Amino acid sequence: MNKLEFVNHSCIIISNKNISLAMDPWTEGSVFNNSWNLLVKTPNYLIETLKKSNYVWFSHEHPDHFNPPNLKIFNHNTNFIFQKTKDKRVVKYLSKISSNIKELNFKEEYFLDNSFSIQTIPFQYLDSMCLIKLNDIKILNLNDCDIKSEKQLKIIKNLCGSIDLLLVQFSYAIGKSNKDNVNERKIWSSTILKKLSETINYLKPKNVIPFASFCFFSRDDNFYLNDSINKIGPTIDILKKNNPNVNFLSLYPGDVWDFKSKWNNTASIEKYSSHYNQISPINIVRKKIDFSINQEVSDKFINTTKKNNNLFYFFNLFNKKNYEIYFNITDLDIKCKFDFKSGLIRINSFDLIKPSCSLSSESLYQLFNSGYGYDALIIGGRFEANKSGLKNLNKIFKFQAKNYQNIFYNYRNILSNFFSKISNRYTLFYKREN
């Protein structure tokens, strides 16, 4: 029997009578520097079911998809599947659990058994989607892939052909919006549904499951970001209105579908509505990081940036005014300034028209100390910044974010990327050179 079992958020298990394939198992805990939590607690029996999966595929290494603390349930018998990457960060971590790891090349079809296969399609620099064939059923898991053009849709359509089931994210997963910018967040939500409707209309799947958005901004300093999220009930209403010939399913943790039976969304949507109404900030003790420690990690950040990007000084000539920012460290009541010359220095005050950002000492530490610190801050939303501050954050931490994607601003890398593009070794999805 072919079936799909929904576990939570973006985690599902697809199986036939012999083999089961799980995807993106975030089942518990806070992610993105304790910024997000799951909307619904994952039942223990589902975690036990997940543990027994023959194969586990990961779309990318963001912690709501690849969450190391949640991977402890797996063992040396588990088969892991991931796209082939240059850095092998994910594969190296998974190898501590099991040696059974399959790295898939672009367009490579990997058979789990004679009638069950998976194909990974890299998207941009870290993400990926997958095409699953289960007997005569074709499932496309778009996950977090942000499709921006008809040209990209055409590539997907040519790769996949007719699609029986499409899995898609349906709400915003970003937090770079201040508390009073409600209209900005409303625009995000409506834009996502508009683009999603266009994607569905182009690909024309028979069925769509909106998922990968069953979480919430869960701390007292980012909870306001939930005010405009797309909720599953209204989302399906809008998508159905724009695509009346498509069947939309709302699945709650534990729901099982056989790919052919009619599905009634009422019970699932009612359960989710109750959870949306009950969310509140999670009470996690906020760590206070001494200012001197943040100075140390900021110095390390400067050295690492310059070491890994030997064109830094060239960029600095043109962007020097954008390479400084003023921080208000809220939990320490400390004002400070950062630039690449002086590092992080304490000051008495600063003019509010200056490029500035307010955040906790813990968030500041993560920003400087982690390879994906900037991404985690922007996605998690535990900060507020004025317009120039947001621009300068992006400029300052562009090196960090790109380096994490294996893009370095040095002569060798730029020439390599240039020749790769002109020799068609990159797809429109920015497939990495391996």
CATH of residue 123:
3.60.15.10
Of 20-24, 148-152, 426-430, which gets the smallest average pLDDT? 426-430
Q: Are residues 115 and 45 in the same domain?
A: yes
Q: Are residues 269 and 328 in the same domain?
A: no
In a domain, 94, yes or no: yes
In a domain, 286, yes or no: no
Cα atoms in the 13 Å half-sphere on the side-chain side of 330: 16
Calculate the CA 186 to chain-centre distance.
20
pTM above 0.85, yes or no: yes
Q: What are the tens digits of pLDDT across the range 287-315? A: 999 999 999 999 999 999 999 999 999 99
The rounded mean pLDDT for the chain is: 94
Higher local confidence (pLDDT), 416 or 109: 109
In a domain, 428, yes or no: no
pLDDT of residue 101: 98
Q: What are the tens digits of pLDDT across the range 125-137? A: 889 999 999 999 9
Give percent of the chain with pLDDT exceeding 90. 91
- Listed as own residue / partner, the contacts of 373-376 with beta carbons closer than 8 Å and 24 or more positions apart are 373/397, 373/400, 374/400, 374/401, 375/62, 375/401, 375/404, 376/32, 376/33, 376/35
In a domain, 230, yes or no: yes
338 backbone dihedrals φ, ψ, rounded to 5°: -125, 135
Q: Are residues 273 and 296 in the same domain?
A: no
Residue 119 has pLDDT above 50, yes or no: yes
Q: Are residues 128 and 256 in the same domain?
A: yes
Residue 430 has pLDDT above 80, yes or no: no
Q: Are residues 151 and 299 in the same domain?
A: no
pLDDT of residue 412: 72
Q: Are residues 227 and 327 in the same domain?
A: no
Interatomic CA distance for residues 110 and 316, integer angstroms? 46
Q: Which residue has the tokens 């008809």?
A: 150
* Domain boundary residue, one of 229, 247, 278: 278
Query: What amino acid is encoded at 404 in this protein?
Result: Y
Give percent of the chain with pLDDT exceeding 70. 95
Q: Are residues 158 and 256 in the same domain?
A: yes
Q: Are residues 52 and 197 in the same domain?
A: yes
Strands (E), 124-214: 127-134, 137-143, 165-169, 207-211
Residue 346 has pLDDT above 50, yes or no: yes
Average pLDDT over residues 325-333: 98
Residue 420 has pLDDT above 60, yes or no: no
Domain count, the chain: 2
pLDDT of residue 229: 98
Residue among 220, 242, 216 nearest 228 (CA): 216
Q: Are residues 232 and 333 in the same domain?
A: no
Q: Are residues 224 and 322 in the same domain?
A: no
Q: What are the tens digits of pLDDT across the range 52-111? A: 999 999 999 999 999 999 999 999 999 999 999 989 999 999 999 999 999 999 989 999
* Domain boundary residue, one of 253, 278, 303: 278
pLDDT of residue 415: 64
pLDDT of residue 434: 36
Query: Which residues contact residue 379 at a Cβ distance below 8 angstroms, ignoring those fewer than 6 apart?
Result: 32, 35, 62, 173, 174, 175
Q: Are residues 150 and 295 in the same domain?
A: no
In a domain, 192, yes or no: yes
Residue 121: its H or E element: strand 116-123
pLDDT of residue 107: 86
Task: Judge whether 194 and 166 are in contact, CB under 8 Å.
Answer: no
Q: What are the tens digits of pLDDT across the range 196-218? A: 999 999 999 999 999 999 999 99
Q: What are the tens digits of pLDDT across the range 270-285? A: 999 999 999 999 998 8
Entry field: residues in the chain: 434
Interatomic CA distance for residues 34 and 53, integer angstroms? 28
Task: Judge whether 391 and 319 are in contact, CB under 8 Å.
Answer: no
pLDDT of residue 433: 37
In a domain, 394, yes or no: yes
Q: Are residues 107 and 221 in the same domain?
A: yes
Residue 419 confidence class, pLDDT cut points 50, 70, 90? low
Q: Which residues form the domain of 247?
A: 3-278
Q: What are the tens digits of pLDDT across the range 374-413? A: 999 999 999 999 999 999 999 999 999 999 988 899 877 7
Residue 388, domain CATH: 3.30.1050
Residue 429 confidence class, pLDDT cut points 50, 70, 90? low
In a domain, 86, yes or no: yes
pLDDT of residue 286: 85
Interatomic CA distance for residues 142 and 407, integer angstroms? 24
Task: Judge whether 39 and 27 are in contact, CB under 8 Å.
Answer: no
* Domain boundary residue, one of 209, 244, 278: 278
pLDDT of residue 315: 93
In a domain, 431, yes or no: no
